Structure 1
Amino acid sequence: MKYHLLFILLLATCASAAAQQRRPPNVRGPVVMRADQMRPQLKPGENRPDVAPSYPGGQPALSEFIQQNVKTPQALLDQQKSGIVFTSFNVGEDGRLTNVKVEKGFTPEADAEALRVLALMPAWKPATRKGKPVAVDVTLAVPVGHSGELIVEKGKVKFE
């Protein structure tokens, strides 16, 4: 009797371990490209571009554009605050920015300023997959704050 009970307990343990190993099917969302995480791939996936989208002139030109066009809102100047607004948008097959939105805001004034600057941005060079342009989602950090704290280093915008 003890052996039967032990055998049933062992079967129940194995069944629960097998059930935990089952995983839901792999559901893929949209591809999100971040400038600091792009690397060439030997075998890109079906939905990944071979060449990432790029701002005309590259990262240094993008940093310069942001520096020249971001105007610190008066509310941030009064409080002596600075921060980063994380935005996302879609670079279409024609290079135009669409679906521009704030992913992680700083203040309402800073968020509005980041969206204003993105609206001024020229068309990007679109991403390509097998030589054909494809639409890709991009996440971009837009620094807003004191211009004295804004530093461009090696083509990257950052705060110190």
Structure 2
Amino acid sequence: MKILFVSLALLAALSAHAQQPAPATGQTIVLQPGHMQVQRNPAANRPDRAPVYPGGEQAMGLFFLEHINYPAAAKAAGTYGKVLVNATVNEDGTISNPVVAGSLSPECDAEALRVVSLLAGWQPAMRRGHPLPVLVQLPVPFGEAGVMHVEQVQRKPAHGKRY
């Protein structure tokens, strides 16, 4: 009986150790405003509130539409999609160190870096009431990637009923 109890305790300890999160590997953490919460003992650089662009995602999308110059070479080649850019939102709400994390084409990558560096006025991430710099990932749309398609569905009358 003791052997069974000791083996179960050892097995439980090993499984708990295996489920612990891996140490930080330098990977980008994507913060989403709806999934932030205050933690009792968080890491020193983990914010309680994610950085927010003024007006939210919709305003950022409009900013991209107004400021992106779709490169002629990419347009001619029919290149469209999103360039993923990692950048730091600083304590003062400015953007620094933009780097391409997901490439589309060299021309689109360069334009995405240019436009992301223009983003300003962020509300910085907060930790216990103090602003702190946070790495964010921004998808910058090119071509058809920025167009939302809404499908129109025609309703058919059911069993002779008219709408």
1:58 to 56, 59, 71: 56
1:116 to 110, 114, 117: 114
Ranges in structure 1 where 5+ consecutive residues have no aligned partner = 1-19, 154-160
| Distance in 2, Cα, partners of 1:136 & 1:100 | 12
Against the structure 1 CA distance between its residues 79 and 26, is the aligned structure 2 distance closer, same or farther, given a 3 Å change threshold?
closer
| Distance in 1, Cα, partners of 2:64 & 2:96 | 18
Q: CA RMSD in A?
A: 2.9
Against the structure 1 CA distance between its residues 71 and 124, is the aligned structure 2 distance closer, same or farther, given a 3 Å change threshold?
same
Against the structure 1 CA distance between its residues 85 and 34, is the aligned structure 2 distance closer, same or farther, given a 3 Å change threshold?
farther
In the superposition, the TM-score normalised over structure 2's length comes to 0.69
Name the counterpart of 2:29.
32
Against the structure 1 CA distance between its residues 98 and 33, is the aligned structure 2 distance closer, same or farther, given a 3 Å change threshold?
same
| Distance in 1, Cα, partners of 2:78 & 2:125 | 38
Against the structure 1 CA distance between its residues 145 and 109, is the aligned structure 2 distance closer, same or farther, given a 3 Å change threshold?
same
In the superposition, the TM-score normalised over structure 1's length comes to 0.70
Q: Deviations over 1:83-126 (max 9, x none)?
A: 11010000111111111110111100000110111122123110
Higher strand residue share:
1
Ranges in structure 2 where 5+ consecutive residues have no aligned partner = 1-13, 151-163
Contact 2:81 2:144 in 1 (8 A): no
Q: Which amino acid counterpart does residue 102 of structure 2 have in structure 1?
A: K
